[in-house]
Structure 1
Amino acid sequence: MTHQSKIQAPAASQHVGDGLPPGTTLCNGQYTVDKYLNAGGFGITYLARDSLGRRVVIKECFPNAICCRAGEAVRLRSQTFDVDFSRAVELFQKEARALAHLQHPNIVGVHQIFEANGTAYMALDFVEGTDLFDMIDYSPNALTPEATRELAVILLQALSYVHRNGILHRDISPDNILLDTMGTPVLIDFGAARQGASQASRVLSRVHTVKDGYSPQEFYIAGSAQSRSSDLYALAATFVHLIEGHPPPNSSLRLAAVAEQKPDPYRPLLGRFPAQDQRLLAAIDQCLNLFAKDRLQSADAWLDALSGRQSTAAVAPPAAAIPRPPQDDPEIESKIAELVASNHQAIEADSAHPTAPAAQTRTPDPEAEKRAAERAYWAILNEDPADWAPQTAPDPIPASAQIETSAPPARRQRRFSLSALLPWPSRSARDGIQTNV
């Protein structure tokens, strides 16, 4: 997927067609839009200033498959999408409230949730600095082995905090990890994780919801169980990119290769990079196992592996690196069948009219449809209610998970920084380019 975290001058058509123009005020004048940042299938992001002149990021709920812009207002493309859009707005707000409780120095903060222009918005921290994609492009050798290990520890501590609060990130990749001007890594863009789009409607199923190279194979199959280990796969893939210079092969291609009794195209890191921390490499390799049950099951388990508290026998290269015949492994055979069926459904959806409502083949059940829509949209957003999710996933997130009551570190208390380990200035400090969510 295209890297979109940089602030770039948008094309005129983007402003006219979708984005709010500069100077637009929101929330009774509390925020003023400075510029369009980027857009995905489900939202638009802006750089703005609050009433005190401080920079913030504004994220707008804007599922462009079912809505459009009429002046500043958001309008439905068809009245048939009224229920879908209402649920989208409702769950966007619920999502924002859950994220607003995550007060952590290495997680982007949500300041406010409000409604305007017929949709919902959230105001988030503005993080000045550079993302890991830019760091790889402009300073490929900037991260020493010591800094790489320290970065892993910091991000795992942040991810552990996220998971303890009952939330999955679902979109970890180099462009969603920023380093601010002090070298502090910050996880951003939780709202870009939309793995359940194919369950919401035929129209929303057309939106690309995976990041090739970073997404585990369960993200490619609609309805597959997702768990903490899904985030660990994406984090491990991010570190493969940092260490090796490119992400690992797509997990769907890896799964297909193993099913055809061919070698897994992923080459384990362990033993190939002697300067790197070998415990880190072993943990990365294990978290890149194709099947969730074979990965480390939590960020805390990964941290234990780094410290040596977990037996090194449990941290090994991916078992899938040794091809096994599909007939000897029902899980591989089943996953391939699901992947093929999913691809067929995607092809059929592409051939259908994008705005045609789904045909009714039986008497609709309003309550069942409402529950199905809510389940789908929680997958599109971030929560992972266990009472809706398939129960085959290892280490599921409890539906009743409560926000931590213990006082977390203050968001602006930048204790976890790589500044002492980074031999390079941030890109924004060099040439004034800002980056953000």
Structure 2
Amino acid sequence: MEQETLVYPLADNTVLQGKYTILNVLNAGGFGITYLALDNPNSRYVVIKECMPDAYAYRDMETGFVHPRDEQTAVNFAQSISNSRQEASVLAQLSHPGVVQVFDMFDANGTCYYVMENIQGQTLFDLMAAMHATGQSMEPARATDLLFRLLDILHYLHSMGVYHCDIKPGNIFIQPDGTPKLIDFGAVRTKTLQHQGLVQITPGYTPPEFYPGRRSEIGPWCDMYELGATFYELLTGQVPQAADQRSVVDRNPKVTSYAILRQTYPMNFLSGIDKALSPDERNRFHSAKAWHDYINAMGAAGTLKAGGVARKTLPKAQKKSSAGTAFLIILLIVGAVLWVCWKQGLIQF
């Protein structure tokens, strides 16, 4: 029975649906296995995700078939398959450059699979780890651009009635050109499917309303919290305090409380992160557009972006006033110097 307690991936060179050749395992998590595969008819590399919840199922190594571990876990296994199908179905209806594209979905070996585009780059988690290990930080212009791009992706998702519900650095893929793409929609919710499927709890990122006993309505504000937590870690190098603890006693320092961050990043950028991270969903942004507009509105009041770089500016009237004041000061200094020279007989009028 030792074999039945372990999770085994499909063997390399396994062919699925007569056209997908498994090349190697990319990742094996608690709920599934992802493979790099060759889509033979289209001569392209793809990623295939297999529903394989190790707590509920095991693979027969002779046949490759996936079985529930016992009668008790059979229900959970069936629910996992249903969740995976829902994830694939939702993704298949989306079309945005910032969302991983699904090409195909099918059942085989007693479980389900779906086929996605193979994207290049690295996760934001890996990028952050490399930066923080060397004491580096993301430039303000790049960080702001990344935030705006992610807000654009979320604006699209929310307009389609879709909520990611598991945004974190590991689920944000940064492509070679720097553009982000959201991956892993395993916890996805829709307006019509609020509380069905997997509830993914990632301490520090998951908002309070996802915790047991807090089954409130799911909406854009949930993704706003998780995106705020992601940028909190990006800037501070620290994962925020778990939301269920913050709901009792909030000991999480605000990003605006860090002097070094205030010296580096625009205040509207920092305060927006703090607002998104509010434990009380009523105080968060209720849409991606609201967060975007918040930054722009504060920018009009004093922080403007030029060429992607945040800079301070003054209203024209204030600029003229400042210039006039400076001119008067110069006249006073020149006058004082001339008076001293005249008193000492160095010059005559």
TM range, smaller chain: 0.7 to 0.9
Q: Which of 236, 245, 248 is matched with 1:253 structurally?
A: 245
Matched, 1:152 2:147: yes
Answer whether contact 2:6 2:54 (CA < 8 A) is retained.
no
In structure 2, how many angstroms separate the alpha carbons of the residues matched to 1:15 and 1:126? 31
Shift of residue 82, structure 1, vs aligned partner: 4.4
1:56-67 paired onto structure 2 within 5 Å: 56-67=46-57
Structure with more relative contact order (C-alpha pairs < 8 Å, separation 6 or more): 1
In structure 1, how many angstroms separate the alpha carbons of the residues matched to 2:225 and 2:300? 20
- In the TM superposition, structure 1's runs of 4+ consecutive aligned residues that sit over 4 Å from their partners are 13-16, 80-84, 309-312
**TM-score, normalised via structure 2 length:** 0.74
Aligned length, in residue pairs:
286
In structure 2, how many angstroms separate the alpha carbons of the residues matched to 1:14 and 1:80? 15
Shift of residue 304, structure 1, vs aligned partner: 0.8
In structure 2, how many angstroms separate the alpha carbons of the residues matched to 1:131 and 1:40? 16
Matched, 1:235 2:230: no
Answer whether contact 1:271 1:278 (CA < 8 A) is retained.
no
1:48 matched residue in structure 2: 37
- What value does the CA root-mean-square deviation take over the aligned residues? 2.9
Q: Which of 258, 282, 304 is matched with 1:293 structurally?
A: 282
Shift of residue 236, structure 1, vs aligned partner: 0.3
Cα gap change, 1:39/1:224 in structure 2, threshold over 3 Å: closer, same or farther?
A: farther
Q: Which of 75, 78, 90 is matched with 1:98 structurally?
A: 90
1:282 matched residue in structure 2: 271
1:6-85 paired onto structure 2 within 5 Å: 17-28=7-18, 30-51=19-40, 52-71=42-61, 72-85=64-77
SS at match of 1:111: strand
Answer whether contact 2:208 2:279 (CA < 8 A) is retained.
yes
1:197-346 paired onto structure 2 within 5 Å: 209-221=200-212, 224-225=215-216, 226-257=218-249, 264-270=250-256, 272=258, 273-274=261-262, 275-308=264-297
1:178 matched residue in structure 2: 173
1:125 matched residue in structure 2: 117
Cα gap change, 1:110/1:116 in structure 2, threshold over 3 Å: closer, same or farther?
A: same
1:168 matched residue in structure 2: 163
Of structures 1 and 2, the larger Rg is shown by 2
Shift of residue 255, structure 1, vs aligned partner: 2.0
SS at match of 2:244: helix
- List gaps (5 residues or longer) in structure 1: 1-12, 258-263, 313-419, 422-437
- List gaps (5 residues or longer) in structure 2: 190-194, 302-307, 310-349
Answer whether contact 2:149 2:179 (CA < 8 A) is retained.
no
SS at match of 2:270: helix
In structure 2, how many angstroms separate the alpha carbons of the residues matched to 1:63 and 1:193? 17
**TM-score, normalised via structure 1 length:** 0.60
Answer whether contact 1:180 1:186 (CA < 8 A) is retained.
yes
Shift of residue 256, structure 1, vs aligned partner: 2.7
Shift of residue 50, structure 1, vs aligned partner: 1.2
In structure 1, how many angstroms separate the alpha carbons of the residues matched to 2:89 and 2:196? 21
More off after superposition, 166-175 vs 134-143: 134-143
User: Counterpart amino acid of 1:152?
Assistant: L
More off after superposition, 276-285 vs 138-147: 138-147
Answer whether contact 2:268 2:299 (CA < 8 A) is retained.
no
